[in-house]
């Protein structure tokens, strides 16, 4: 579509944003066409051959997509006057210019982890490396400010010294050093006449200051975002506070893009009733451009598996009819039962956020054990013996006579080989169970075998991820029929892959920026959402984001054993269907 045609279809608020030539805050509600507005404004600005424009996004893919959309409207001849990228990529280029054209070496995630492990060891700090990473990131987001004399300061100084000794900076240093350089005059801001920033509500203090430095240097800045969709407080996103600060600091004109072109009125109305319960927010009226015609329904189910079956059946029917569909959950682990149901029914799906629980080693271990039980495989005993606590040296002793280790051995023989008494008992207990399971399998009592294997594996571990993987694998296999060889062949078929006809399974956080014809939000329960680790206002914004992913059909559900999420009650959905 040509630029003239795009401008012709913009609504008055979008056109106001395009035409403004002063600092501007565009508050874009879900589905407001903000990317089209940014692209149109940038193309109009580039029509002046003397103008340079910067466009900033939060991800590389988004930057590439935005650049392509802009150039499609403005023409390829303008590409030299357009610089589109992420905050970090643009900051990194600034560092290269400061150092005479050679950008500093950036530490990989592996480098960072290795350095922090060494620093923790040197300092005698008994911290998890994940906690150390989070502490360092928080300090850098706060411009390197940290309480003097604290353990965090000691860790931070040690880590920074280690980076310097190795001639590296890390990912966050890119932005921190660029901001510091602009503030002390050693780095020049980009000579943008205009700067446009997408997803402004997600900016942290460092990113905000990078923008502010360019505004102070003379760039006219347009930021686009929605405080109601600020869901990254755990990453120090400023959200509503950042938007208020931008308006005050730069006397920015605020324009609300209130038309939602995605959701029917029924869905948008439910979302509006939810988000209005947050106090600190920019007032806005949501307008459903598509009008009525959507469907919103809330259901209660006996348990999470009954809920998963209902979601799968409803959404896969829509997918077969050419519609897009997604199951959304507060966390990735809550999607495990839905994946189990999809696997056992042979439904094509794609787990778009986080790894499949069926890829964990416990799933492979259960499959391996069932193959040994059915005698379709004679290898893999070592993995099972390791699982029960027999170490590598003892495994070598067991192999010293070249035996396959699938037969029972006398306790005396095992002790003479050099096994400890505990390991000898574990070995004999496993082999005893293997004989019992094989006897049941020969009689085709597959369900009894599967239940026995499941109970045995659950008894061997207290790790929550391992127990979840074991349970999910059991749930899939128990819903299939026939000998284990047939069930395992079915289980191992790769139906977890991105495809136009795949049912999407993803988290509320990962759903941001996406949309589907039909959306089903599972486990809408008080014990799940809001999550007690986050603030209620941020959890409400997250739920609002999830609800507004649906174009035509929104389903919410829960297991009866738990109380209903207060956000469902706020949406006015407490009196609908019970199943």
Q: Is 33 annotated as a binding residue?
A: yes
Q: Is 191 annotated as a binding residue?
A: no
3-state secondary structure 265-289: HHHHHHHHHHHCCCCCCCCCCCEEC
CB 347 within 8 A of CB 503: yes
Q: Is 309 annotated as a binding residue?
A: no
467, burial (CB in 10 Å: exposed 0-12, middle 13-18, buried 19+): middle
Please name every residue paired with 556 in a beta bridge, in sequence order, or none if there are none: 298, 521
CB 438 within 8 A of CB 373: yes
Q: Is 35 annotated as a binding residue?
A: yes
CB 195 within 8 A of CB 220: yes
Distance CA 263, CA 354 (A): 27
Nearest of 338, 315, 257 to residue 503 by alpha carbon? 315
Q: Is 27 annotated as a binding residue?
A: no
According to DSSP, residue 103 is labeled P
101: left (phi over 0), alpha (psi -120 to 50) or beta: left
Q: Is 361 annotated as a binding residue?
A: no
C-alpha atoms less than 13 angstroms from C-alpha of 428 in its C-beta half-sphere: 14
According to DSSP, residue 550 is labeled E
Strand, coil or helix: 339: helix
3-state secondary structure 393-446: HHHHHHCCCCCCCCCCCCHHHHHHHCCCHHHHHHHHHHHHHHHHHHHHHHCCCH
Buried b (16+ CB within 10 A) or exposed e, 64-96: eebbebbbebbeeebeebbbbbbbbebbbbbbe
Q: Is 114 annotated as a binding residue?
A: no
Q: Is 29 annotated as a binding residue?
A: yes
Q: How many CB atoms lie within 10 A of CB 331?
A: 15
Distance CA 190, CA 93 (A): 10
Binding residues: 28-35
**Residues placed in the known binding site for ATP:** 28-35
């Amino acid at each position: 579509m040509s630029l003239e045609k795009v401008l012709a279809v913009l609504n008055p608020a979008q056109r106001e944003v395009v035409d403004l030539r002063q600092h501007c805050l565009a508050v874009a509600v879900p589905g407001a066409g903000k990317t089209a507005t940014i692209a149109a404004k940038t193309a109009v600005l580039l029509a002046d051959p003397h103008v340079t424009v910067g466009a900033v996004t939060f991800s590389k893919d988004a930057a590439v997509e935005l650049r392509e959309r802009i150039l499609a409207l403005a023409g390829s001849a303008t590409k030299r006057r357009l610089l589109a990228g992420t905050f970090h990529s643009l900051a990194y280029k600034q560092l290269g210019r400061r150092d005479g054209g050679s950008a500093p070496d950036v530490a990989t995630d592996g480098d960072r982890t290795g350095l922090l492990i060494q620093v923790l060891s040197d300092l005698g700090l008994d911290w998890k490396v994940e906690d150390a990473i989070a502490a360092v990131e928080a300090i850098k987001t706060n411009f390197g400010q940290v309480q003097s004399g604290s353990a965090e300061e000691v860790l931070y100084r040690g880590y920074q010294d280690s980076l310097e000794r190795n001639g590296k900076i890390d990912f966050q240093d890119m932005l921190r050093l660029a901001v510091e350089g602009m503030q002390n005059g050693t780095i020049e801001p980009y000579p943008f006449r205009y700067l446009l920033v997408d997803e402004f509500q997600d900016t942290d203090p460092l990113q905000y200051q990078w923008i502010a430095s360019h505004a102070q240097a003379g760039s006219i800045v347009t930021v686009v975002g929605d405080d109601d969709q600020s869901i990254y407080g755990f990453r120090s996103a400023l959200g509503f506070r950042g938007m208020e600060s931008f308006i005050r600091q730069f006397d920015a004109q605020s324009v609300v893009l209130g038309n939602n072109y995605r959701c029917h009125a029924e869905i948008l109305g439910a979302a509006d009733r939810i988000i209005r319960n947050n106090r600190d927010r920019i007032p806005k009226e949501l307008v459903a451009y598509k009008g009525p015609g959507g469907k919103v329904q809330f259901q209660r189910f006996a348990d999470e598996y009954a809920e998963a079956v209902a979601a799968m059946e409803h959404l896969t029917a829509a997918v077969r009819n050419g519609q897009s569909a997604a199951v959304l959950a507060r966390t990735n682990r809550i999607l495990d039962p839905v994946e189990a149901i999809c696997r056992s029914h042979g439904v094509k799906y794609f787990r778009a956020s986080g790894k499949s629980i069926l890829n964990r080693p416990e799933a492979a271990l259960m499959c391996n054990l069932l193959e040994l039980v059915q005698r379709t495989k004679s290898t893999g005993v070592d993995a099972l013996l390791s699982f029960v606590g027999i170490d590598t040296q003892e495994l070598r002793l067991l192999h010293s006579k070249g035996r396959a280790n699938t037969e029972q051995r006398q306790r005396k023989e095992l002790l003479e080989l050099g096994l400890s008494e505990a390991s000898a008992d574990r070995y004999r207990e496993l082999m005893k169970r293997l004989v019992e399971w094989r006897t049941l399998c020969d009689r085709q009592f597959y369900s009894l075998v599967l239940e026995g294997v499941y109970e045995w594996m659950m008894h061997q571990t207290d790790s929550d991820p391992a127990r979840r993987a074991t349970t999910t694998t059991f749930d899939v296999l128990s819903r299939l029929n026939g000998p284990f060889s047939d069930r395992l062949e079915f289980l191992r078929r790769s139906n977890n892959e991105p495809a136009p006809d795949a049912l999407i399974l993803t988290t509320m956080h990962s759903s941001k920026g996406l949309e589907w014809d039909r959306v089903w939000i599972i486990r809408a329960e008080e014990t799940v959402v809001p999550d007690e680790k986050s603030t209620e206002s941020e959890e409400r914004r997250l739920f609002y984001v999830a609800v507004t992913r649906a174009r035509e059909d929104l389903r919410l559900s829960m297991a009866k054993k738990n109380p209903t999420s207060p956000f469902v009650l706020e949406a006015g959905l407490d009196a609908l269907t019970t199943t």
